[in-house]
Structure 1
């Protein structure tokens, strides 16, 4: 997957806020760089017909380091928005585990995660109140990706973000498949009722601000490829097997359950 560098003028407030935890970000950049390489190797193996991820791909198997864990906890507090009524989130606001996904709608591996892994995570962990998923539009493939991202945000203004999100990822779509009229057709199929408002919102300053907020956050963390994830601050990169995410969620939930007792 291609790499992307942040625009020189990226100075929005979300990035400045993340600068306060510079040590955490430096660590995450390093971990993400390793995870990207591991993730690509795993994905290539899967495409070649082989199965199974290397042991290092599972965050839950990383040796516990209290100082490192504190850094991940700090990062989780900075990146897990937990906003009331966030249309790009699913799950309880106070869920003990938050998975933040940085993704592009032209990314085939992002689609793989959406089709294969996300439904299992929702069924097993979101519905049980353990997990919250927060989506970030991190566009790296240019204008068509940005248009699709704005369309997903516009659908969210009518409560249909996840329906259009899943439709966009139902198969790999690139280029003209993400033209405005095509997006309007997908929005209609996804249950968006006011298509005039949808077109207006898609081109609005609000959509631009929302995309910039997500991109600034990702660039501030050193995200370079999609999909990239944070699970309570711990990085995971690529469309890893579902069991890797399940183990990471369960480990994060177990750590979260220990915190009240540790603070007594």
Structure 2
């Protein structure tokens, strides 16, 4: 009887060890970092339907699209560390840059931030508000407050908008349909994380440094068809960076 108990105990001990090893193996596989994988999209055959927010000349040789969430830490990292250099490419006329809101469900205040930025755009201050939101993300995000409006209002005032007009727009949620369109575009493109970029015809997930970003821009420029020369255009107005939208809203 004693030997039988020992045998059963050994059996269950081995089974338990196997189960533990299995859990460890699964955890290792799911926790392994994934390498950046680029997929391709044909924007001529399947053009972007949402408007987004444009920086630069829409006829620039390379079109860049960013799908981002104002409350996303990786988006904040890109916006504060890499994007200042990206804007130099915009000013040089090498790229146009279009930002699409992709508010994720996990972030409590991101819709409010997108609404705040869209209402600032109504007064020509989208990119200033974009920068202020990312630079002050820790003041208004879901971990900091359940009511982001006072901070967002303070940031709007700081970038120089008419706060009375901005607040009316904000309270009306005037641009929520546009934000929803931008989000729907991300879903239609099968984009699953933020930030994700479309540079030329490549979909590239994850924040990146300026060297990698420039490499993708150069590859897209080399692959683009040669276009006939057009008369030089005057500088577009707007701060920060040159800004001109010749496409208008696309519904």
Look up the match of 2:122. 157
- Indicate if the aligned counterparts of 1:104 and 1:110 stay in contact, CA closer than 8 A: yes
Query: Would you say 1:251 and 2:216 are equivalent positions?
Result: no
Distance 1:94 1:258 in 2: 13
- Indicate if the aligned counterparts of 1:99 and 1:132 stay in contact, CA closer than 8 A: yes
Query: Would you say 1:170 and 2:135 are equivalent positions?
Result: yes
- Indicate if the aligned counterparts of 1:102 and 1:229 stay in contact, CA closer than 8 A: yes
Look up the match of 2:179. 211
Stretches of structure 1 lacking an aligned partner (at least 5 in a row): 1-35, 40-56, 63-67
**Root mean square deviation of aligned Cα:** 2.4
* Bigger radius of gyration: 2
Alignment of 1:14-163 (within 5 A): 37-39=34-36, 71-74=41-44, 78-79=47-48, 88-123=53-88, 125-140=89-104, 141-163=106-128
Give runs of ≥4 in structure 1 deviating > 6 Å.
Answer: none
TM-score, normalised to structure 1's length? Answer: 0.66
- Indicate if the aligned counterparts of 1:117 and 1:242 stay in contact, CA closer than 8 A: yes
- Indicate if the aligned counterparts of 2:54 and 2:99 stay in contact, CA closer than 8 A: yes
Call closer, same or farther: CA 1:92–1:166 in 2, change over 3 Å.
same
Stretches of structure 2 lacking an aligned partner (at least 5 in a row): 1-32, 229-251
Higher helix share: 1
Distance 1:212 1:115 in 2: 25
Count of aligned pairs between the two proteins: 191
Distance 1:198 1:181 in 2: 13
Q: CA deviation at 1:188?
A: 0.7
Query: Would you say 1:201 and 2:169 are equivalent positions?
Result: yes
Query: Would you say 1:179 and 2:148 are equivalent positions?
Result: yes
- Indicate if the aligned counterparts of 1:150 and 1:203 stay in contact, CA closer than 8 A: no
3-state SS in 1 of match to 2:35? helix
